[in-house]
Structure 1
Amino acid sequence: MGTVIVGAVLLGVVAIIIRKLVRDKKSGKSLQCGVDCRNCGGHCER
């Protein structure tokens, strides 16, 4: 039972991280471009 609980918590954390990355990408922020795609000179995929 403990394994199931730990697995569910871990899955939830990963889902939250992925959702944050997707939202940041949609709002014009990206880790590849210093967290600001507007100043990347066009090499950042949106």
Structure 2
Amino acid sequence: MNNCVEAAALTGGLLAVRDSKRTDGPAVLFTGPAWDGFLASVREDARA
């Protein structure tokens, strides 16, 4: 599988996530609490 993402901490407390194969493509921006919620959701789904 070729599923890779990159994450970068930005100023202002944001986190940018993008497809590492499309460096010129869009990024999804998360606040710290939103990122924590996203990870909790992914972890919960992985246990199901």
Common topology (TM > 0.5): no
Name the structure with the higher strand share.
2
What TM-score does the superposition give when structure 2 sets the normalisation length?
A: 0.39
Name the structure with the higher helix share.
1
Higher RCO by CA contacts (8 Å cutoff, separation 6 or greater) = 2
What TM-score does the superposition give when structure 1 sets the normalisation length?
A: 0.41
Choose 1 or 2 for highest CA Rg: 1
